[in-house]
Structure 1
Amino acid sequence: VLCLLRFIQGIGLGGEWSGAALVATENAPEDKRALYGSFPELGAPIGFFLSNGTYFVLESFNDTDAMCAWGWRVPFLLSAVLVIIGLVVRVHMEETPIFRMAQEQKKVVKSPLTEVFRKSWKQVLQATFLVAVTYTLFYTLATWSLAWGTKTKREGGGGLGFTNQEYLLMLMISICVFALFIVLSCLYADRIGRRRVLMFSSCALVVFAVLFPFLLDSSLVGQKNFAATMVFLCLGFALMGIAFGPIGAFLPELFDANVRYSGSGIGYNLAAIVGAAFVPTIATWLSKNFGVHSVGLYLAVMAVCCLIALATCKETKDVDFTK
């Protein structure tokens, strides 16, 4: 059942991000495309805050038995409200001016999937590795670190010994940093260009990947070191915001208007496979067998892959977005 629901979720998300990014950027002033592109990007921290916040509130009033019996279902049921809101928005939404122009000029291709891989396969690969590192970082910060941080030494692996509620609270605080830096990075991306901002974030992520294990090594910082863990989470999510924010404009700008929706959507979702699908499993296996520093090395490799992809990209800040 879980796999079936994930399959359905994938169908929804597959066209969701690229559609939202295109609606935002194709309706934006030319000098504010990255800022407008930050709006769909903000969905990630807002959704994460709401989901973790719901669990935090539920765990504050219920014990473990109640959470296992019925509490875990509540966030799923509450998400139905967002589904209804989303449906209302979609019903009243119009196509973007650029897409309508392409229709009038009869430039809309019948098989965009074929066209993307025939003419824009390079841009698909670039998009995949530009985004993959953000997925790897997000699941390292939000999923693997939660498991690591709430593990005790008696359970093996040298975890930090926080309770689930304590770690969720720290995640909720740091996710606000994530949202802030999405907006700030997009303001700078409109001013100095997308490549410069993403080059900085990728280089900074390599350094972060080498250093963050020292903040999570219980033999160095001890158990329940709130200060070290908050530095890890806030710094990690700040870099995540810088790396993730400009993507909302950068990916659509890599593709021509007639394949922009498909190209950016395929690249974004391939990144989920490359950068996220097995991250919690791989990171858990690495930390168990080789220590937390091996998880940092894994993240550093993904950041280097992003740097290589960036090196092959041209700056798109001033690209003609109507073509």
Structure 2
Amino acid sequence: GFFLSNGTFFLLEAFNDSEAMMTWGWRVPFLLSAVLVVVGLVVRVHMEETPIFRMAQERNAVVKAPVVEVFRKSWVQVLQATFLVAVTYTLFYTLATWSLAWGTKPVGQGGGGLGFTNQEYLLMLMVAVCVFALFIVLSCVYADRIGRRRVLTFSSVALVVFAVAFPYLLMGEGKRDFVAVMVFLCVGFALMGTAFGPIGAFLPELFDANVRYTGSGIGYNLAAIVGAAFVPTIATWLSANWGVQSVGLYLGVMAVCCLIAVVTCRETKDVDFTK
């Protein structure tokens, strides 16, 4: 999905000038997304309940007001879920949105910029997104082998180190250093894939079967507010006023919050949820 979204803009900009993009080109991806809405609807209409939830239904263990039940009994898990996921949102919007704006800004304009063209930076993003996909698969495999907590603990610690180190890759104003930017994007997306992969299993496993969908859904969407809603704005303001290092500090704080959430969670790899 990320590859196709960036690829759509890449193709549009390859055949249209900036005036055309501002006039009508930017609307094309939004129109194309209508197709994905239909696909998503078809998938969800035909989706079946999980075996464990069906067992809960058979035992009459399903609650009538799962939202109330979640906040009454599982509010700690909601907080853990929120900060487990929030850092992946922060990292993604730092890599894909803020860095695109920073990298394509003319050198010296508004406190920095690397001077890449939109097409150059989008192409680098598309390559890095492939790294993201690869590390999602690898992290899922290792989450099943050695546990979700170990994989997420590693990714959180590595993200703190990355947050300290990456600003030095983006401070060469005017050099158009493709190697440095590709290292920044590929390492960043590799760590995002490592953090994101186990979430699909770990997040719902934090909650009891009768409130699992509600609990994980609330946590995931709160994470979108905490970790994504204001990231591009905050990162842009920080970089313009305090330099790229401040963006790294922002990401580092979110990684530490994720680490705290991870270490306070129980390991769920070998838990039998049918009991």
TM norm. shorter chain > 0.5: yes
Distance apart, 1:93 and its partner CA: 2.6
Give the Cα–Cα distance (whole angstroms) in 2 for the partners of residues 92 and 250 of structure 1.
24
Give the Cα–Cα distance (whole angstroms) in 1 for the partners of residues 182 and 32 of structure 2.
29
Distance apart, 1:280 and its partner CA: 0.8
Aligned partner of 1:238 in structure 2 is 190
Instruction: Establish whether residue 284 from structure 1 lines up as the match of residue 236 from structure 2.
Output: yes
Aligned partner of 1:109 in structure 2 is 63
Instruction: Establish whether residue 314 from structure 1 lines up as the match of residue 266 from structure 2.
Output: yes
Aligned partner of 2:4 in structure 1 is 50
Aligned partner of 1:31 in structure 2 is none
Kindly provide the amino acid, as one letter, of the partner of residue 141 in structure 1: L
Distance apart, 1:92 and its partner CA: 2.6
> In terms of mean alpha carbon deviation, does 84-93 or 59-68 score higher?
84-93
Instruction: Establish whether residue 100 from structure 1 lines up as the match of residue 25 from structure 2.
Output: no
Kindly provide the amino acid, as one letter, of the partner of residue 193 in structure 2: G
Distance apart, 1:273 and its partner CA: 1.0
Distance apart, 1:106 and its partner CA: 0.7
Give the Cα–Cα distance (whole angstroms) in 2 for the partners of residues 179 and 121 of structure 1.
32
Aligned partner of 2:118 in structure 1 is 164
> Which of 127, 133, 157 does residue 81 from structure 2 map onto?
127
Residues 212 and 232 in structure 1, CA contact (< 8 A), matched pair in contact too = yes
Aligned partner of 1:43 in structure 2 is none
> Which of 42, 58, 80 does residue 34 from structure 2 map onto?
80
Instruction: Establish whether residue 258 from structure 1 lines up as the match of residue 242 from structure 2.
Output: no
How many residue pairs match? The answer is 275
Aligned partner of 1:229 in structure 2 is 181
Aligned partner of 2:146 in structure 1 is 192
Deviations 1:184-231 (A, max 9, x none): 000000000000000100010011000000000025xx4211000000
Instruction: Establish whether residue 62 from structure 1 lines up as the match of residue 16 from structure 2.
Output: yes
Distance apart, 1:321 and its partner CA: 2.2
Give the Cα–Cα distance (whole angstroms) in 2 for the partners of residues 135 and 87 of structure 1.
24
Give the Cα–Cα distance (whole angstroms) in 2 for the partners of residues 136 and 288 of structure 1.
18
Distance apart, 1:278 and its partner CA: 1.0
Gaps of 5+ in 2: none
Q: Structure 1 residues 134 and 149 mapped into 2: Cα distance closer, same or farther (>3 Å)?
A: same
Residues 158 and 218 in structure 1, CA contact (< 8 A), matched pair in contact too = no
Give the Cα–Cα distance (whole angstroms) in 2 for the partners of residues 85 and 223 of structure 1.
43
Distance apart, 1:154 and its partner CA: 4.0
TM-score by length of 2: 0.97
> Which of 93, 97, 103 does residue 139 from structure 1 map onto?
93
SS in 2 for 1:70: helix
Gaps of 5+ in 1: 1-46
Distance apart, 1:140 and its partner CA: 0.4
Residues 202 and 306 in structure 1, CA contact (< 8 A), matched pair in contact too = yes
Kindly provide the amino acid, as one letter, of the partner of residue 218 in structure 1: G
Distance apart, 1:85 and its partner CA: 2.1
Find runs of 4+ consecutive structure 1 residues off by over 6 angstroms.
none
Residues 144 and 283 in structure 1, CA contact (< 8 A), matched pair in contact too = yes
Kindly provide the amino acid, as one letter, of the partner of residue 273 in structure 2: F
Aligned partner of 2:43 in structure 1 is 89
Aligned partner of 2:201 in structure 1 is 249
Give the Cα–Cα distance (whole angstroms) in 2 for the partners of residues 184 and 195 of structure 1.
15
Deviations 1:43-73 (A, max 9, x none): xxxx211111111001100111111121111
> Which of 196, 201, 214 does residue 155 from structure 2 map onto?
201
Deviations 1:221-250 (A, max 9, x none): x42110000000000000000001000000
TM-score by length of 1: 0.83
Distance apart, 1:101 and its partner CA: 1.6
Give the Cα–Cα distance (whole angstroms) in 2 for the partners of residues 187 and 136 of structure 1.
24
When the two chains are superposed, the root-mean-square deviation of aligned CA atoms in Å is: 1.1
> Sequence identity, in percent?
83
Q: Structure 1 residues 80 and 227 mapped into 2: Cα distance closer, same or farther (>3 Å)?
A: same
Kindly provide the amino acid, as one letter, of the partner of residue 171 in structure 2: D
